[in-house]
Copies of this chain bind each other. A is one copy, B any other.
Amino acid sequence: MHKVVFHIDELDKWDHTLSNITNLLDYGLVNKEEYHIVVLVNGDAIKGYLDEHLRNAVEQFSREGVRFHACNNSMNSHGIEDKQLPENVEIVSAGIADLVSLQEQGFAYVKA
């Protein structure tokens, strides 16, 4: 089983990341390799969780097992409240602490 965290901190990096995740999931299916995927979103990219097109993608990927994290500091900076996030998005206190913790747990890191 493979573990990878994608780090998105710029709004315009969402689309390429979602495309990378699609390709990784396809690769896993074809090669019978399991990928445990987390997407940690902080900085300006946090606004992506309010975008309709991206919300639909987040909800679809969540159903396929991808986990999405939102940095609470970034939410505060951008005036975003818990109830505005798509379903199943997990709020973490500090995005960087989450990235450190995941890498300590053996997650590979990919910067968007």
A interface residues with partner B (beta carbon < 8 Å): 2-4, 7, 9, 16, 20-21, 23-24, 26-28, 30-31, 33, 35, 42-43, 73, 93-97, 99-101, 103-104, 108-111
- Chain B residues near A109 (CB-CB < 8 A): 103, 108-110
Would B35 and A100 count as touching, CB distance under 8 A?
yes
> Which residues of chain B are near A20, meaning CB under 8 Å?
42, 95-96
Please name 10 pairs of A and B residues whose Cβ atoms are closer than 8 Å in the assembled complex, sorted by A. A4-B100, A7-B111, A20-B95, A24-B100, A27-B93, A30-B93, A31-B93, A99-B108, A103-B108, A104-B108
CB distance from A6 to the nearest CB of B (A): 8
Across the interface, which residues of B come within 8 angstroms of A28, CB to CB?
97
- B111 & A111 in contact (Cβ 8 Å cutoff): yes
With the chains together, A26 CA to B97 CA distance in Å?
Answer: 10
Beta-carbon nearest neighbor of A24 in chain B: B96
